Amino acid sequence: MTGQTTIAPSQDVRSDVDSLRRVWALAGLQRGKGLRGKVLRGILYRFFQSLSLGLAFGAMIWVVIDLAAGQVLDWARIGQVCAIVAVSLIGQTVFSYLSAMNAWLASFELASDLRLAILDHLRRLPMGFHLARHKGDTVTVLTSDMQMLESFLSDALPRIAQAFGLPVIVLGYLAWRDWPVALAALVSIALGLPLFAWTSRRLALLGIRRQDTQAEAGARMIEYVQGMAVIRAFNRLAKGEESFRAALADFRDISVRMVMQLTLPLVLFGAVVSLGVPLVMLAAGARNLDGAIDTGTLVTALVLVFSLYSPLLALISVMELTRMADASLTRIDRIMTAQSPPLPVSPKEPQGFAVRFENAGFSYVAGKPVLTDMSFAVPERTMTAVVGPSGSGKSTVLNLLARFWDVDEGRITIGGVDIREMSEERLNSLITVVFQDVFLFTGTVFDNIAFARPGATQAEVEDAAKAACAHDFIMLLPQGYQTRIDEGGGNLSGGERQRISIARAILKGAPIVLLDEATAAIDPTNERAVQQALTSLVAAKTLIVVAHKLGTIRAADQILVVGEGRIAESGSHDALMAAGGRYSNLWNARARSESWRIEGHSSNLATRAH
Amino acid sequence: MSLAEASLAETTESLTPEAAQGPDYLAPLRLMRGHLGDSSARLAFAIGLATLGVFAELVPVWAVYRLVAAAVAGTLDWPLVTTHAAIAALGVIVGFAAMGLALGQSHLVAFDVIHRVRLAAARHMARLPLGYFAERPSGDAKKQVVDEPEKLEAIVAHGLPEGVSSVATWLAVSIWLFAVDWRMALAAIVLTPVSFVLLGIGMKRGGTYATAYQRANARMNAAIVEYLAGMPVVKVFNRTRDSFAETSAAARAYADIETRWARAYLPLGGAFYMLVIANIVVILPVGLMLVKAGTLDLPTLLLFVILGANYSQPLLKLFNQFHGLAHIAMGSSAVTDLLAQEPQADSGRRVILRNHDVAFEKVRFGYGQNDVLHGVGFLARTGEVTALVGPSGSGKSTIAALVARFRDVREGNVSIGGVDVRDMAIDQLMETVAFVFQDTFLFSDTIAANIRFGNPDASDDQVRAAAEAARAHDFIMALDHGYDTPLGEQGRTLSGGERQRIAIARAILKDAPVIVLDEATAFADPDNEAAIQDAIAALTKGRTLIVVAHRLHTIMAADQILCIDRGHVAERGRHRQLLEQNGLYARLWEDYLHARNTPLRPANAATITQEAV
């Protein structure tokens, strides 16, 4: 064990008792469903199952004591013992069934309820929350973490109950027969349990570290695999393998170290508890030789000593389950404690669809402002284009207007009303966002377009598709509008997917359109169709567009050049060109790139460029 | 980690219906054996130690029995007590020490084996045709190298030592018990097969829900993924209530199947865990009757009560291991499949190329049943630019990929300098061809390291020169740490255009005579586009350049433009010739100009529409 290894002090580490308390709180989430009752019954019945098993041991002791005292066994006695054993068996059968039924069904219900609660909570959280997280993390919480909780409730919790059930009965019985022997039996438990709690906590800390280091080593391996094409293309297998080998070796070494650090305390716990056996042998033997207890009691104590310790040893296998469940709880809490944006008490109605940014300031990460003191006005039904270098905050303008995040300073208004004072539904009904990344649902083409307006008729959907230049290619699909779109829209080309998403936006008919132009190229025919589709979408709307193709925004009423988080220049194309600032530089660069072409050896680039 | 894997398995995991498809349960063992290396002795040692440990843990049981027997016989004295207590203590200490040591050793072996499997899988991947990766999600490869081998830990570190020791001990004790009194031994053992049979029936009953469970689980996962991926769209369209309703229906259906499965499985399957530890209910009545009949003495009865009640527990532990086995087996099969993939044929021959002309002759190629290319032929001359244009899905990128042997042709051949690409060493081919991809992959390392990837021996000046030629120098210098700026998860994120320029700098540094650009100018930022174009111009001088492009003005001056349509070369020639032909290229060109220059809306749209309203 490396004593000096620094273990991150983490508030995420809970004690076992805290974890239990948290699970208990979650079980009470759905009032009136009696989940807590079920969980409790699951534990209680498991306890009764132990008691029933204990009954058989009781019968054994009862008869053995008398046999040891030299009594002769009669058939009536055997009959009685058989009856008790039969009751014991029935009790075990019934209670184990009831316990499992209650615990399992409660765990399924709880996980299901919790899943629904999280899903519901997620949709109320601002988009910023979702965009700032790995989607995979959230999926993990809803799937494997829930299964983890199920396992904990259905399996670990009853086993914990069982681990204490039989020992408590045995100890009680021993104390009744002879308290010094009981005391001796208790010594190893008293020493072992703190060791257990300590180990469990240590396991949690090590677990977190192991996870982190593993994640890092894993990330490097993933990178190697993902970069395989590049590694191959550059003939750099040796170099790729070098970093990869190191990552693999790290991974192995960390795993080994962690296991070594964990094995020792666990072995120690097992040994300490089990040393209770020789201790009880000594104590009971001494008491018997002293004449303090009779042979029957001695035999009883010796026979029961294993029933005292082996259930406790079973705790070892529950320990990690508890820790894993705890890690799951932590991840669940990260979602459940996230705040949804405050809803206005009395939502206001916007007067018109003019948009204003008033001294808006915003940062994704505290201390790194993306926008500072951003002010501009977009009159109703005009077109504003936002241009600027990558990372200048262009897309942030759209994100804030759609309330994916809230501004830190200043305010944004639509129709004179702060967007934070509108109801979420109202704001969303005013705005259509056309994202760079098109998202289509699994379902038919019709469903995907009609998504914008529940109850839309076939004619309405077709009109929208026609306006989006999508009708023709849709009619060429095997089942027309009823063609199913594969997961992620894989059976359509990029340009076709864009047009379906534009048809959806057209059908919505919101008065304000936020358009983030796609940067990746598609083939010219598709691009032209997309361009035409966008033209239909934005007609007569208040339009804010983050532009990448300068040629399409020349006619904008207003062009905002964003730089360093504020507006560097603004005005019409002609005015900005005349000003000779950044915009005119961009435009000139474009003109140069227009005249540029990839040429063979015969041509001279320099002469063309000038 | 797997102390609790077993317990996990006891509940939800055992639902996993992969078993229905019959996983190859021996796959993990075979995979392990193939990569055991020099660890086999150590593994045997671990198994031996574990067996010693389990035996030692039974020593206290025996010591207690001896005391009980002495007490009943009235021969108990203090030395006997202390001796046996000491023996018991020794048993406990030796038992746990041996078990701890065994697990330590077995983990060492396990992590070594996992390490070797990973290395083998990763190395093997490097020998597969690149098309192998293009065909499947990148997550697959990651799983086969990272996740699946990890599962071997449960088998090597726990399953083998604990399993072998459990069975060995159980058999040994059983034989001992039968030797002592076969009737009582039978009584002590009888519940074990009964409980296993009940479990089997229970699992079978639960198994009828396996397919339904699998479906419900898949449906729920897909619904959750879509719910989250579609969240921005859902919110914008005010449809969160509906998408929530759909996802929650899937979640409810899943819970419903779980419940039905539990109701089917539990009555019998649950009885197993109860019966395995309940054998006292048989031992006691049988024992008493034999005592009454006078054929059994009290100490022997007590031996069975004490030992018989405890010795089946290791079996339970072993059984818990089996639950996860289906999962592990499927993982091992996936890795084995990967290792069995045919590596790309490599002639290993270094040949002299008389020039760097790239020639396609009657090339046919397809991914599945259907051909994508139907007899493509062209010659891209050294020092010339050959452009591939055409609608999406026409086969442009496939042609580009064949040059670098990401795939091998089905018919016809691809040659460089008159030599079939399959006849030259892959090393040589990779040295000859530089390939710039559309989706640029950069490593999470510094910018300098990413550029130097093109040539590990390049000096700082050369790296800088390449960056300058790629028009990346200026934006790199504007970053906080210049060339030492780290990229990736913890580092800076660059725009698509910036990433492409780094990738081009990397290719410039490689200095290969044949360059393939697969839509490497695809990302459009007004300020980036000109720079990327300059960067590419720097790449082309005196080399054979094959470029796939949608931005047609970039290839206007190409020596040869190939217009690809549905797997054929539909038109070929220079820009002007093709425009005069007034065919597919001319149409593409017109669409291109139109898309680029049509305003989103007419000049004074606002005023017009306001008047109209």
Structure tokens of B70?
């002495």
The mean pLDDT of chain B is: 83
Identify residue B380 by its one-letter amino acid code: A
User: Is A143 in Cβ contact with B221 (below 8 Å)?
Assistant: yes
Distance of residue B134 Cα from the nearest chain A Cα, in angstroms: 9
Q: What is the DSSP string of B461-510?
A: HHHHHHHHHTT-HHHHHTSTTGGG-BBSTTSB---HHHHHHHHHHHHHHH
Q: Which residue has the higher pLDDT, A352 or B480?
A: A352
The whole-angstrom distance between A456's CA and the closest CA on chain B is: 13
Select from B125, B126, B288 the Cβ nearest to the Cβ of A78: B288
Q: Does B345 touch chain A (CB under 8 A)?
A: no
- Identify the residue among A99, A230, A245, A260 best suited for mutation to test binding to B, counting B beta carbons within 10 A and taking the highest: A230
Burial tier of B582 (Cβ tally within 10 Å: 0-12, 13-18, 19+)? exposed
Q: Give me the mean pLDDT over the B312-336 stretch.
A: 76
The amino acid at residue B424 is: M
> Quick one: average pLDDT of B522-526?
61
User: What's the pLDDT at B17?
Assistant: 40
Are A563 and A371 within 8 A, CB to CB?
no
Note the pLDDT tens digit of each residue in A243-265. 778 777 877 887 788 788 778 88
Instruction: Summarize the confidence of residues B347-362 as an average pLDDT.
Output: 91
pLDDT > 70? residue B150: yes
Higher per-residue pLDDT: B408 or A321: B408
A445-455 mean pLDDT? 89
Measured between beta carbons, the chain A residues lying within 8 angstroms of B242 are: 454
Q: Is the pLDDT of residue A488 over 80?
A: no
Do A116 and B4 make contact, defined as CB atoms within 8 angstroms?
A: no
Tokens found for residue B317: 């532990």
Report pLDDT digits (tens) over B416-456.
999 999 999 988 998 899 888 777 788 878 899 889 988 88
The HSE-up count of residue B590 (CA atoms within 13 Å, CB side) is: 9
- Name the residue with tokens 């032909």: B581
Give me the residue spans of the domains in chain A.
355-607
Whether residue A321 has pLDDT greater than 80: no
Dihedral sign (CA A433, A439, A443, A445): positive
Query: Residue A201: what pLDDT?
Result: 79
Please check the confidence at residue B503 and state whether its pLDDT lies above 80. yes
CA A430 → CA A74, A321, A565, B237, distances in Å? Answer: 91, 49, 26, 10
How far is the C-alpha of B16 from the C-alpha of B217, rounded, in Å? Answer: 10
Q: Which residues of B484-516 are buried (b: 16+ CB within 10 A; e: fewer)?
A: ebebeeebeebbbbbbbbbbbbbbbbbbbbbbb
Q: Quick one: tokens of B210?
A: 């396996």
**Contacts with A560 from chain B: Cβ below 8 Å:** none
Sheet holding A542-546, edge to edge: A431-434, A512-516, A542-546, A383-387, A558-563, A566-571
* Cβ–Cβ below 8 Å for A119 and B61: no
Q: What is the pLDDT of residues B84-114, one digit of tens each?
A: 999 999 999 999 999 999 988 998 999 999 9
Assess B79–A contact: CB distance below 8 Å, yes or no: no
Which of B601, B608, B611, B613 to mutate to test binding with chain A, by most A CBs within 10 Å of its CB? Answer: B601
**B441: helix, strand or coil:** coil
Measured between beta carbons, the chain A residues lying within 8 angstroms of B263 are 101
The pLDDT of residue B401 is above 60: yes
pLDDT tens string A141-172? 888 888 888 888 888 888 888 788 778 888 99
Residues 6+ apart with CB under 8 A from A389: A563, B525, B527
- With beta carbons less than 8 A apart as the criterion, state whether B130 and B516 touch: no
CB pair distance less than 8 Å for A302 and B67 = yes
- Which segments within B118-225 are labelled E, that is strand? none
Strands in B433-436's sheet, in edge-to-edge order, are B433-436, B514-518, B544-548, B385-389, B560-565, B568-573
Mean pLDDT, residues B301-309: 83
Question: Quick one: pLDDT at residue A566?
Answer: 85
Band of residue A602 on the pLDDT scale cut at 50, 70, 90: very low
Query: Rounded to an integer, what distance in angstroms lies between the CA atom of residue A316 and that of residue A267?
Result: 10
pLDDT value at residue B163? 85
Give the pLDDT score at B9.
Answer: 33
Task: Name the minimum distance, in Å, from the CA of B21 to any CA of chain A.
Answer: 22
Query: What's the average model confidence in pLDDT over B535-559?
Result: 81
CB of B236 within 8 Å of any CB in chain A? yes
Mean pLDDT of chain A: 83
A295, pLDDT greater than 90: no
Instruction: Supply the pLDDT for residue A5.
Output: 34
Looking at chain A, the whole-number percentage of residues with pLDDT higher than 70 is 90
DSSP per position, A233-254: HTT-HHHHHHHHHHHHHHHHHH
Between vectors from CA B585 to CA B581 and to CA B587, what angle results, nearest 5°?
95
pLDDT in tens, A225-242: 777 777 777 777 766 677
Which tokens sit at A107? 């765990």
**The listed CATH number (3.40.50.261, 3.40.50.1860, 3.40.1010.10, 3.40.50.300) that belongs to domain B358-597:** 3.40.50.300
Residue A320 near residue A263, CB atoms below 8 Å: no
Fold of the domain built from segment(s) A355-607: Rossmann fold (3.40.50)
Strand order in the sheet with A368-378: A368-378, A355-365, A409-414, A417-418
Query: What integer pLDDT is reported at residue A598 of this predicted model?
Result: 57
DSSP structure class, residue A349: P
Q: Is the pLDDT of residue B14 over 50?
A: no
Cβ contact B444–A442 (<8 Å): no
Return the pLDDT at B137: 65
Between B63, B258, B610, which is nearest A108 by CB?
Answer: B258
Whether residue B65 is predicted with pLDDT greater than 60 in this model: the reply is yes
Residue in A255, A306, A547 nearest the CB of B306:
A306
Do A285 and B81 count as a contact with CB atoms less than 8 A apart?
A: yes
Q: Which residues in chain B have their CB less than 8 angstroms from residue A248's CB?
A: 115, 118-119, 122
Place of tokens 């030629």: B469
d(CA A304, CA A171): 9
Query: What are the tokens at A9?
Result: 């002090």
Cα distance from B361 to chain A (closest Cα, Å)? 23
Domain ranges of chain B: 5-190+279-340, 358-597
Q: Are strands B568-573 and B560-565 parallel, antiparallel or unpaired?
A: antiparallel
What's the predicted TM-score (pTM) here?
0.78
The sign one gets for the Cα dihedral A549, A551, A557, A559 is: positive
CATH C-level class of B5-190+279-340: mainly alpha
Q: How many residues comprise chain A?
A: 610
Q: Choose the closest CB to B146 out of A218, A230, A557.
A: A218
Is B285's CB within 8 Å of A82's CB?
Answer: yes
B254 — contact with chain A (CB < 8 Å)?
Answer: yes
Please give the distance of CA B130 from its chain centroid, rounded to a whole number: 17
Q: How far apart are CA A501 and CA A486, in angstroms?
A: 15
Look at residues B182, B147, B418, B142 and name the one whose alpha carbon lies nearest to residue B295. Answer: B182
Query: pLDDT per residue over B249-283, tens digit each?
Result: 999 999 999 899 888 888 887 788 788 778 889 99
Of A443, A432, A399, A593, residue with least CA distance to A513: A432
Which 3 state secondary structure label does DSSP give B383? coil
Using one digit for the tens of pLDDT, what is the confidence trace for B355-377?
999 999 999 998 777 788 999 99
Question: How many Cβ pairs within 8 Å bridge chains A and B?
Answer: 564
What is residue B343's DSSP assignment?
P
Q: Does A469 have pLDDT greater than 50?
A: yes
CA quadruple B414, B420, B426, B431: dihedral sign: negative
For the residues of B501-549, what is the DSSP string, one character each? HHHHHHHHHHT-SEEEEESTT-B--HHHHHHHHHHHHHHHTTSEEEEE-
Which DSSP state fits B20?
A: G
pLDDT above 50 for B216: yes
ipTM of the shown complex: 0.81
Assess contact for A582 and B536: CB atoms under 8 A. no
pLDDT value for B24: 77
CB contact under 8 A, A107 and B11: yes
Query: HSE on the CB side for B312, CA within 13 Å?
Result: 23
H helices of B355-443, where? 396-403, 426-432
Query: Residue B388 belongs to what H/E stretch?
Result: strand B385-389
Give B537 to chain A, closest Cα distance, Å: 6
For A520, residues 6+ apart whose C-beta sits below 8 A from its C-beta are A494, B496, B522, B523, B524
Strand ranges in A301-379 using DSSP code E only, listed in sequence order:
355-365, 368-378
pLDDT of B4 reads 28
Which of A73, A82, A234 best tests the B interface by mutation, with the highest count of B CBs <10 A?
A234
Q: What are the tokens at A120?
A: 């519901």
Sorting pLDDT into bands at 50, 70 and 90, what band is A487? low
